[in-house]
Structure formats: C-alpha cells, structure tokens
Amino acid sequence: MSVDYEAAARELTDARESGKPCPPLRGRLLPEGDVTSAYLVQQLQVREWLRRGHRRIGAKIGLTSRAVQESFGVYQPDFGVLTEEMAVPDGVEVPLDRLLQPRVEAEIAFVLGTDLPDERITTADLTRAVDHLLPAIEIVDSRIAGWDISIVDTVADNASSGLFVLGTTPHRLADVDLRLAGMVLEHAGEPVSVGAGAACLGNPLHALAWLAQTLARSGDPLRAGDVVLSGALGPMVPVTPGAAYEARISGLGSVRTCFTKDGDQ
C-alpha cells in the first residue's frame, strides 16, 4: 500500500483540535506493523508544534510492560515528545475539553542534569546524568477512536501522549530503590491501580537507558534539563469526570491531579 504520512498527521491533528477521534491509521494510511513510518508521522506533528512556538522539554516512554508489549506483538518500548504545553501543575484542575479519551497512570520521572549524546551508555553514565527524580501522573490520551490502537497507531499519535503532572519535591536517584519502589494510585481514597518499579522493563532505569540509546542513535539525544516519563508502574485507569487522583510512590512522595466535570470549563 502507498503511505501517506501527511494525511495521517493531518487526521491526528484534526482529531486533537476538533475533539473528535479519527479511525485507526493502520491498514488505511499506514501499513500494519510499519513503526518507522509511524515515527515519521509523529515527527511531522512535532515539527508543526515547534513551528507554532511550542517548547520541547523531554520525552515519554511507553510500552514498558512486558504484558502490554505482548498484546501489541512488539518487544521493545516506544517513545513520544513532551512539550511545555503538556505540563500541568501538581493538584491543578484539568479541563476535560483539553482531552479526548483520557486515562491516568503513575510513573517515575527523571530530570537530567547533563546531556546523553552517546548511544554506548553505561549504568554509571545514566546515574551521573540524572539530576533528580519526581513522582508523576501521565494523563495519556488517544486521538484514535475507542482506543482501537496498534503499535503503528500509538507511535504515530506521539505515543498516545496527553498531559502530565510532576510532583514538587525532588529526590536523589541514590536514595530510591527504583526496582522495588511501590506505587498506589487512588481515586476517592480507594486504590484503582497498584504496581512497582519492576513493572517498567524490570527497572525504570532500564527504560531510560533504552530511550537514551535510541535517541542518541537518531542524532537527537536527550539533553540536560529534559524530563523523561519512564513508563507506567501499574495499569492505566480511565478518567472519571470530576474525579481527583493521587499517586504515591515509595521514596518519592505523592502527586495529584483532578478533572472538571463534563461541560465545565
């Protein structure tokens, strides 16, 4: 089949701006399983955001759960771009009309203190590069109707990115056992998702290593100051209008987000 990168990017942009999801891209505008083409579509959208004055501030990693990878038939994570416009302050209410089909998941965020330009990277390089950690809630979203996504759809759609919320108290990497860091995500005081660092490629630091190597190989490496959302520590949860969610991660504290009710601005 012929590949129409610009048409795919245009459909995703129209869905984002209109609030009306589009049909899946796979098998229609992009070939099934063609992840390379999907990243090209992602890049077209990112270039347009930057042209409009958005500021790139980092990246997010997805598909870090082995079970989720197997459901997509892939055996590596994916990534998307974070911009300043996606950041929401801790505890601030999020208007639902900014999103289409939001879900929330708790993650560990890395904030880098130095560049990571070399694809041959060691654990020592990573630990030196990380300035601090923060608890995070990623508000994932999909421009694809009904979350009917494959690896091609989600990569083209900037790894199903939406918004993100960071906690406000930084922690040193040396002070946290990332693999064993337990997570509880609560709604109305009840746990709705639980997990631990080991759910993220065995250790969130492994996810950071994968991203650093992948981006260095592409010639667009991670830079000092970048925020990296390293991947979900537990199952993502559909957002209930008017609800508040709080994530607590061992050694990192908590982070909170809440949403308007349907129709509220």
DSSP per-residue string spanning 90-127 = TTPEEPGGG-SS-EEEEEEEEEESS-B--SS--HHHHH
Q: What is the mean pLDDT of the chain?
A: 95
Query: What pLDDT sits at residue 263?
Result: 53
Instruction: For residues 98-110, give the mean pLDDT.
Output: 97
Query: What pLDDT sits at residue 175?
Result: 97
Query: What pLDDT sits at residue 54?
Result: 97
pTM of the model: 0.96
Query: What pLDDT sits at residue 264?
Result: 60
pLDDT tens per residue, range 137-195: 999 999 999 999 999 999 999 999 999 999 999 999 999 999 999 999 999 999 999 99
Q: Is the pLDDT of residue 233 over 90?
A: yes
pLDDT tens per residue, range 207-230: 999 999 999 999 999 999 999 999
| Other CB atoms within 10 Å distance of the CB of residue 146 | 10
What are residue 10's phi and psi, to 5 degrees?
-65, -40
Query: What pLDDT sits at residue 26?
Result: 95
Instruction: For residues 64-69, give the mean pLDDT.
Output: 81
CA distance 45 to 156: 9
| Other CB atoms within 10 Å distance of the CB of residue 186 | 18
Q: Where are the alpha helices (DSSP H) in 52-80?
A: 66-72
- In a 10 Å sphere around its CB, with 0-12 CB exposed, 13-18 middle and 19+ buried, how is residue 220 labelled? middle
Q: Is the pLDDT of residue 115 over 80?
A: yes
Which of 63-77, 213-227, 239-253 shows the lowest per-residue confidence on average (mean pLDDT)? Answer: 63-77
pLDDT tens per residue, range 42-59: 999 999 999 999 999 999
Query: What pLDDT sits at residue 262?
Result: 76
